[in-house]
Amino acid sequence: MKNIITLCLLSMIAITAGNAQVGIGTTNPQEALHIAGSGSSIRVEGLSSSNNANNLGGSSTYNVVADQHGTITIGKLSGELSSDSNIPVPVTVQTQANSGLNAAELYQKDFTLTQRAMVVITYYVALDFESYDGTAKIDDGRAKVAHNYFYLGNGVAPDTSKSYGMTSVVYSNMNCDTATGLVYNSRSMTIALEPGTYSVHLQGAVYGGGLTEDAAFRVSFGNGDRLDIQAIYL
């Protein structure tokens, strides 16, 4: 019986092709295909849990999306794209003599989106403040500033016209040459992105070492870091 109904439906569509409208449960169709009734539905078995990996079955429901051609399918499942450490060896950045900002790229991490999504990018990174040559801990009492932020790229090069996720930490220590321990920068950003290949370029920067010669310092970025990238598909 099911096969007969399906055959009849296909025959109706074929016979009335062109400007005609087909109605199921109605004699006054308002669209090319109009299925009337408060409980009406359409079943596409190619989207079922047995035929589509993005349908996990159970009592859950899943978003259906259409591409630029109007082809309908189940949307990608939201979730984690990447979660790992990316700094195998700490990266050292030293201040400039004129107190200007000095920055370096700590790592690049690539990811790919297959459809439009809100992307949540969260990072944390450990920082170790030392004297300019790294031979001593800081004890001059002056504030030392370090920043982290990231650029988005295309998987090859960053777009440096806009930075994301800027966060800073200020460190000072006085009358003690034995201060040890790491401090941390952490930030989370949500960015709307279209399908494509992207890259996160995390930067480490230092500022404020040019007041006097002994005010110069260095920061080692690393000794513990994490980058999480999650996609919420729209």
Residues 93 and 179 in one domain: yes
Q: Span 197-207, mean pLDDT? A: 96
Q: How confident is the model at residue 211 (pLDDT cuts 50, 70, 90)?
A: low
Whether 114 and 27 map to the same domain: the answer is no
Report whether 56 contacts 63 (CB < 8 A).
no
Question: What integer pLDDT is reported at residue 196 of this predicted model?
Answer: 95
pLDDT-derived band of residue 173, with 50, 70 and 90 as boundaries?
A: confident
Does residue 70 sit in the same domain as residue 88? no
Same domain, 93 and 193: yes
Least confident of 115-124, 164-173, 179-188, 223-232: 179-188
Confidence (pLDDT) at 53 = 80
Of 34, 52, 74, the residue that ends a domain is 74
Please give the backbone phi and psi of residue 141, each rounded to the nearest 5 degrees, phi first: 80, -5
Q: Could you tell me if 165 and 150 are in contact, meaning their C-beta atoms sit under 8 angstroms apart? A: yes
Give dist(CA 139, CA 178) in Å, integer: 9
- Mean pLDDT value across the chain: 85
Read off the pLDDT of residues 25-69 as tens digits, 9 standing for 90 and up.
888 888 888 888 888 888 888 888 888 887 888 887 777 878 788
Give me the pLDDT at residue 15, please. Answer: 53
Based on the fold, state whether residues 126 and 229 are members of the same structural domain.
Answer: yes
Q: What distance in Å separates the CA atoms of residue 108 and residue 203, rounded to the nearest whole number?
A: 9
Give me the CATH number covering residue 212: 2.60.120
pLDDT at residue number 213: 66
Q: How many domains does the chain have?
A: 2
Q: Is 190 helix (H, G, I), strand (E, B) or coil?
A: strand
- Distance, in Å, from the CA atom of 91 to the CA atom of 99, rounded to the nearest integer, reads 20
Residue 178 has pLDDT above 60, yes or no: no
Q: Is 176 left (phi over 0), alpha (psi -120 to 50) or beta?
A: beta
Q: How confident is the model at residue 2 (pLDDT cuts 50, 70, 90)?
A: low
Residues making up the chain, counted from first to last: 234
Tens digits of residue pLDDT in 79-114: 899 999 999 999 999 987 666 789 999 999 999 998
85 and 45 share a domain? no
Per-residue pLDDT at 184 exceeds 80: yes
Is the domain of 211 the same as that of 177? Answer: yes
Longest alpha-carbon distance in the chain:
92
Burial of 99 per CB tally in 10 Å (0-12, 13-18, 19+): middle
Residue 223's alpha-carbon distances to 54, 79, 111, in angstroms, are 38, 27, 24
Tokens 């040019």 belong to: 210
- Tell me the residue ranges of DSSP E strands in 99-163: 102-113, 117-131, 144-153
Q: Which domain range does residue 24 map to?
A: 2-74
Residue with the bigger pLDDT between 153 and 98: it is: 153
- Taking 60 as the threshold, does the pLDDT of residue 225 lie above it? yes
Percent of the chain with pLDDT over 70: 85
Q: Model's pTM, two decimal places? A: 0.75
Which helix H or strand E contains 115, and what residues bound it? Answer: none
Tokens of 80: 């984690």
Helix or strand or coil: residue 72? strand
For residue 91, give the 3-state DSSP assignment. Answer: strand
Q: Are residues 68 and 83 in the same domain?
A: no
Domain boundary among 74, 105, 129: 74
* Spatial separation of the C-alpha atoms in residues 193 and 234, rounded to whole Å: 10
55 and 171 share one domain = no
Note the pLDDT of residue 9: 56
Q: Are residues 63 and 96 in the same domain?
A: no
Compute φ and ψ for 115, nearest 5 degrees: -155, 170
Question: Which residues contact residue 20 at a Cβ distance below 8 angstroms, ignoring those fewer than 6 apart?
Answer: none
